[in-house]
Chain A
Amino acid sequence: MCVFAAATRLLVVWNRTTGEAFVANDGQRGGQRGGQKSGWPDRTGPDGGRPARAGLSEAILHFLERGVSLVVSSSDRANRPRVGRALAVQVPADGAWIGVCLDRTANAALLAAVAETGRFALAATEPSTHLSIQLTGEDATVTAADAETTILAARHVDAFAAELALIGYGDAFTRALMAHDPATLAMVRFRPSRLYDQTPGPKAGTAVPP
């Protein structure tokens, strides 16, 4: 087993035998004002816990579904980067893809770039611990959101507000930041082909096989 990133609070671990990566906490959760234990599972995958979805371990999927900050990017044909903020992540139980919920009004240029090139990157960061990972894919598509997406977005805003409250941000601030019109939601679907540890430190950006 090989430890790829050993910033103080996040370990992205790759099992050479199975080729799987998973994220483990070194037990030092909490930045300056951090809170509870994170409860990363020690090991998940085909021989421990539920089968992986979208080619990712349960630990990473669980992290993505927590109250994390979700920022995204794409690039157009002219290689101009686009940036945006996402509202939630959806991983269907039987899915080979990850769905990322975005507000169309706020992210028109980014969604156009995704439709044009299929390139997509998602960075998920837990503000209270600085734990951060990035997933990228080349086959992203833009689809319509459904009722479940709307519920997911609302649930994620609640979780994100609770997370930001741990480091002193007021509820009104977080809800203003995440404000969106449920009628203008879109879903970007992609299969993650690469995973990076992005916890701040010299190992940030280190590529790990998904």
Chain B
Amino acid sequence: MSSAIGASLTLDAIRACLEGAVPATIATCAPDGTPNVSLLSQVHYVDPDHVALSYQFFNKTRANILANPIAVLQLIDPPTAAQYRMELSYLRTETSGPLFESMKAKLAGIASHVGMQDVFRLLGADLYRVTAIEAVPGGAPLPAPVAPRSLLSATRRACEALRGCADLTELLDHSLCALRGLFGVEHALILMPDAATGRLFTVAALGYDSSGVGSEVAPGEGVIGVAARERVPIRITHMTSDVAYSLTARDGAEDAGLTGGPAREIPFPGLERPHSQLAVPILAGRRLAGVLFVESRQEMRFTYDDEDALATLAAQLGALMQSLPPAEEVAPVPAACPEAGGAPVVVRHYAADDSVFVDHDYLIKGVAGAILWKLVRDHTTLGRTDFTNRELRLAPDIPLPDFAENLEARLILLQRRLEERCGVLRIEKTGRGRFRLVVTKPLLLQETA
């Protein structure tokens, strides 16, 4: 068997074998040399020199590797049936953290795929160093299918498209545009974290009937929440029946129970029965700046290569988010808004959670709700229509967390919710760090504790 390090055949070159589509075979032997061979449901790519195997039961394979750390795998390339052997040396077992969580999520999909959802349960991620790889001699592999696109080219062009973006709105819009046009992604979301609560809220969406802008995901909830909490891509290649990874099954009970009164939950827009899901954390330096989420009705839609491509795009997005200059204004331009007419609409604010309802319909809550409440108060009491980002950042009644793009993200969220849900209010950008509140009907404000 040739050495994996520096040899022509690398682990990266055979990653399709590690997608869980076809079981691998593992051979180990006891200290007395007695061999053991069995099928293996999951071989997980860790990095160019390491793989991790799922530890689900304490069986003969596990007893052997704890006593004699050498294992040999025989792997099958799903599209071609080409076979490879890989020699491994056991290092350690991880029972929590990013590696464990990414394997656990993937195993949930594999288990449902093979009808073993009640049997497969990850106890640990056994980490191995890859010491040698060889192609099994002989055989007659099928020709490799032609890939529908070059992910490397798509990644390059997507990163280039982001480079000229002037603000967060453009970054988010260009990202979704690149996902659709260059990566062929049909359903995607971008979520950003609330620094105070850690919850993620949707700021941009692609390919859903209802955009779900403003919908929230808790850290650790579903593939998005786990990706955010562990800061690692989470990918499921088959539809899973594991409710831990279902986001659409949630109801608003938790939220309604917190504050009482009418429901304040914006439904999560995800597919009801996704067959492939991938959530990639967006990091700005060491800080979590968001999560990029894509999903599909097609099995095995997102591979290791897709994961790498979207992780690269997310890295670029995170770096650009961090380097955006603060959107500070020059002087506000005087308003030139038409006079609002007709019957007044009731805008009600609940101070407990800063939720805002327009004519009894829930619109927004939290920081974005506080911003809207300030805008409509200033509008009705002072007649103001033009505002600046800077004054919002300094306003004592807006509980804005520390980071600059948190304000940007909240304004984007508010702007999009108003567009989707409110016919009488909208926000228009009027320049760098400036925007206008456009009000088309008289407002009647009501404050509720």
Contacts and interface: CB of A to CB of B under 8 A. Distances in A.
B64 to A, nearest CB: 8
A69 B39 contact: yes
A183 to B, nearest CB: 11
B83 A177 contact: yes
A196 interface: yes
Nearest to A140: B35
B300 interface: no
Contact of B25 (A31, A71, A138): A71
Contacts of A136: 34-36
B81 A121 contact: no
Classify the secondary structure of A's interface with B: mixed
**Among A74, A173, A200, residue most surrounded by chain B Cβ atoms (within 10 Å):** A200
Given A80-B70, A81-B27, A176-B140, A132 B59 contact: no
Nearest to A118: B33
B139 interface: yes
B27 A82 contact: yes
A154 B184 CA distance: 42
Contact of B68 (A79, A134, A174): A79
Contact of B35 (A34, A73, A179, A184): A73
Nearest to A202: B57
A173 B141 CA distance: 8
6 contacts: A8-B118, A73-B28, A73-B29, A106-B139, A130-B116, A200-B56
A176 B57 contact: no
**Among A7, A83, A176, residue most surrounded by chain B Cβ atoms (within 10 Å):** A83
A29 B60 CA distance: 25
Nearest to B141: A176
Contact of A123 (B34, B37, B114, B116): B37
A17 interface: no
B178 to A, nearest CB: 33
A106 B36 contact: no
A108 interface: yes
B31 interface: yes
A109 interface: yes
B136 A173 contact: no
Contact of A108 (B70, B112, B137): B137
Interface string A15-57: 0000000000000000111100000000000000000000000
Given A106-B83, A130-B115, A200-B41, 4 more contacts: A71-B74, A73-B29, A81-B27, A119-B34
A87 to B, nearest CB: 12
A205 B63 CA distance: 10
A136 B36 CA distance: 8
Interface residues of A, number: 52
Interface string B21-65: 000011111010111111101000000000000001101110100
Contacts of A85: 25, 74, 83
Interface string B136-160: 1111111000000000000000000
A177 B57 contact: no
**Among A33, A117, A119, A177, residue most surrounded by chain B Cβ atoms (within 10 Å):** A177
B29 A132 contact: no
A155 interface: no
Contacts of A198: 38
A31 B114 contact: yes
Nearest to B1: A109
Contact of B57 (A74, A108, A180, A201): A201
A179 B116 contact: no
A70 B26 CA distance: 12
Contacts of A130: 114-116
B37 A134 contact: yes
B80 interface: yes
B156 to A, nearest CB: 33
A81 B39 contact: no
A82 B170 CA distance: 55
